Structure 1
Amino acid sequence: MRIAVVGPAFPYKGGGAHHTTELARRLAAAGHDVAIESWRAQYPGFLYPGQQTIAEPEGEPFPGTRHRLDWRRPDGWYRTGRALRAYDLVVLAVLSPVQVPSYLGILAGLRRRAPVVALCHNVLPHERKVYDEPLMKRLLRKVDGVLVHSEAQAELARGLTARPVRVAEMPAHLPASGGVPADDGKVRRRLLFWGIVRPYKGLDVLLRALAEGPGDVGLTVAGEFWGGLDETRELIRSLDLASRVDLRPGYVPAADVPGLFAAADALVLPYRTATASQNVWMAYEHGLPVIATDVGGFAEQVRDGVDGLICPPGDAPALAEAITRFYAPGEPERLRSGVRPVDHGPVWAAYLEALTALTGGAR
């Protein structure tokens, strides 16, 4: 098939660009003729407070990538849709309702000449605005099928559209790590919180748990703050954690990631809510166990007591207890020994099958 994937691609940063690029590569390896339609300007700055693009891409760009979309040019949305009429399948990578107006413009240009699948990373945002649900409802009712990454997201999508909805586990689309570092057997008494910092990710819960847990355990927090940096600094001060928390606000270049993981005993994911995340796979690629809350797919990814620990969300005492259990004598070493690299080939094969199967009933 001729397949066009519409979504962020390098030099955009983060999981969305990695996923779009890896999806295109996997589809091409499966024998499809693939192109990426990406952006030269995706969001206005006030809607995306973080850094959108970087000078050095975090991976090898897909050769069939075009950067023609611009949030300021609705006429370009329509022209892109017209250009995609010759394709057998158009995949819209949906990361935010902010993308919906441009995707509706593309659909107007397509005029239903090609089947369209909405690949929803999140059906609705974790932190919602009043316009999110109406926008997503309008988009999902105009496509031919919807692909999501969990049953909870499928239920949400089915509440917005009567179109077919399929679930497939999100496979890995990780930046190159250089392999798992050698385990020197040392316990560093340091945990890692990594990635964009937003309220639903529960950093405040982790800080409170850190204050309640073993007094000699440190924490590195590395990532862009989407607000709340001053409040986080004040919380660290009020909990008397200044000497134990290494706060590194700002974008973390891919080249710096291996060092961050090598300096920690475990990655902590104290999320209040989640859909699908690459962070568990990222930790395992670097040989680290994971302490995570029981939200989204974490309980399926982390084998509780084998390569990590699972605890309830939004519960600082429970997370403090998990940290204490993690640092029981011999436990960091035992849990690290349980970490195994994951074979993502079968997961990708199932993902591509689910995606292309959604075109079965389309024109």
Structure 2
Amino acid sequence: MRIAVVGPAFPYKGGGAHHTTELAHRLSAAGHDVVIESWRAQYPSFLYPGQQTISEPEGEPFPATRHDLDWRRPDGWWRTGRSLRSYDLIVLAVLSPVQVPSYLGILAGIGRGTPVVALCHNVLPHEAKPYDRPLMKRLLRRVNGVLVHSEPQAEIARTLTSKPVRVAEMPAHLPTSEIATPHEATTRRLLFFGIVRPYKGLDVLLRALAAGPPDVSLTVAGEFWGGLDDTQKLISELGIAERVEIHPGYVPAADVPGLFAGADALVLPYRSATASQNVWMAYEHGIPVIATRVGGFAAQIRDGVDGLICEPDDVGSLTDALKRFYAPGEPEKLREGVAPVDHEPLWAAYVETLTEAVGRPVA
């Protein structure tokens, strides 16, 4: 079957681009004729304050990738849709409601004859704006089916559309990099990795670090969308400046192994979440995860086996988790429990669910 995946791909960076590309590879490996319709200009800078593109690919780019879409050219959205009318299935990778106007333009060009699935990484953003719900409602009522990555996300989607909503666990789509050899001795250092936004709870982690074991330090590596000032002020107020090392900016795949090799655990102190690749990334690098009970973390992490689970937006609960983690022998025990996940069955199920998300299997 001919399938078009519309979404970000290299030179765009991050999990959305990795997922779009890996999905295209998996669909192609399953015997489908696949193309990616990507962007030459995806967002205006004021809507995406971080670094949008990279110069070197992180993983194998998908060869049949076109870069014709441009947020400044609505006429091009419609033309792209017209060019996809002959396809058997269109997959719209939905990362933000900001994409909805362009996707509606593409849908206008496609017309009503081709099945379209909205693959929603987040149905609604963690930090919502007043226009998010009406935009997503318009999009989800226009497509033939919806695919999400957790049942809570499916419940949100069903409040916005009567179209079929399917759930599939998100498999790994990790950037390609050399996996460092896990360290054997504890480093007394934790890692916070990824874009820093309020919903990810770095402030909660900093307060827990100040209240927890006094000889434990923290590395924070990622883009700060709201700037560094508030974080640096909080670190100073807590008196932990000597224990916190900040690496602001996008972390290239080549630098990831060193960060994980230098940490005892990855900490995900999120206030809210849907699905995250960071758990799988930590396990691929051989370290356990300390995370809050939000999104899919409790299903990904075996509490007391390969990580610890605590309550969200709760400094006391996270502080207790840090103390539990650094109990004598506990870091070593949890590290021994870590094993990379076999994602082949997850990907097979994901591809199958995707083709059923229009309400019937697409042969």
What band does the TM-score fall into relative to the shorter chain?
Answer: over 0.9
Query: What is the CA distance between 1:360 and its match in structure 2?
Result: 4.7
Matched-pair contact (CA < 8 Å) for 1:120–1:147: yes
1:94 counterpart residue number: 94
Within a 5 Å distance, the mapping from 1:159-238 to structure 2 comes to: 159-179=159-179, 181-238=180-237
Is 1:55 equivalent to 2:82 in the alignment? no
Work out whether residues 209 and 316 of structure 1, in 8 Å CA contact, stay in contact via their aligned partners in 2.
yes
8 Å contact from structure 2 (residues 182, 287) kept in 1: no
Distance (whole Å) between structure 2 residues aligned to residue 226 and residue 38 of structure 1: 24
Determine whether 1:341 maps to 2:336: no
- After superposition, the C-alpha distances for 1:108-139 in whole angstroms (9 at most, x for unaligned) are 00011210000000000000111000000000
CA distance in 2, matches of 1:280, 1:230: 28
In structure 2, the partner of 1:302 is 301
Instruction: Output the amino acid matched with 1:161.
Output: T
Report what 2:141 is aligned to.
141
Mapped partners of 1:337, 1:51: distance in 2: 36
| 1:37-48 pair list within 5 angstroms | 37-48=37-48
Tell me, in whole angstroms, the C-alpha distance in 2 between the residues paired with 1:184 and 1:11: 33
The alignment yields a C-alpha RMSD, in angstroms, of 1.0
- Structure 1: which amino acid aligns with 2:107? L
TM-score (norm 1): 0.98
Cα contact 1:10–1:59 (8 A) shared by 2: no
1:228 shift after superposition: 4.3
In 1, Cα distance between equivalents of 2:328 and 2:360 = 57
The alignment partner of 2:49 has SS state of: coil
SS at match of 1:102: helix
2-side partners of 1:265 and 1:329: how far apart? Answer: 13
Map Cα deviations across residues 139-195 of structure 1 (whole Å, 9 max, x no partner): 00000000000000000000000000000000100012323x333411000000000
Q: How many residues align structurally?
A: 362
User: Could you tell me the TM-score, scaled by structure 2's length?
Assistant: 0.98
1:144 touches 1:164 (CA, 8 Å); kept in 2? yes
Q: Give the SS at the match of 1:133.
A: helix
* Partner Cα distance (1:129, 1:255) in 2: 35
Separation (CA, whole Å) in 2 of partners of 1:334 and 1:198:
31
Match in the other structure for 2:22: 22
Question: Match of 1:192, as an amino acid?
Answer: L
Residues 1:243 and 2:242 are matched in the alignment: yes
| Structure 1 residue runs without a partner (length 5+) | none
**Distance (Å, rounded) in 1 between the aligned partners of 2:302 and 2:77:** 44
Residue pairs, 1:93-112, within 5 angstroms: 93-112=93-112
The answer (yes or no) to whether the contact 2:18–2:173 under 8 Å persists in 1 is yes
Percentage of matched positions with identical amino acids: 78
Equivalent residue, structure 1, for 2:131: 131
Please list the CA deviations of residues 1-50 of structure 1 after superposition, one character each: whole Å capped at 9, or x if unmatched.
Answer: 10000000011000000000000000000000000000000000000000
**SS, match of residue 93 in structure 2:** strand
Provide the C-alpha distance between the structure 2 equivalents of 1:136 and 1:58, rounded to a whole number of angstroms.
30
Cα deviation 1:288-313 (Å, max 9, x = unaligned) = 10000000000000000000000000
Structure 2 CA distance for partners of 1:299 and 1:132, relative to 1, 3 Å: same
1:337 shift after superposition? 0.3
Contact 2:148 2:154 in 1 (8 A): yes
* Closer, same or farther: CA 42–315 of 1 in aligned 2, 3 Å: same
Mapped pair 1:357 → 2:351: no
Counterpart of 1:138, as a letter, is R
- Structure 2 gaps, min length 5: none
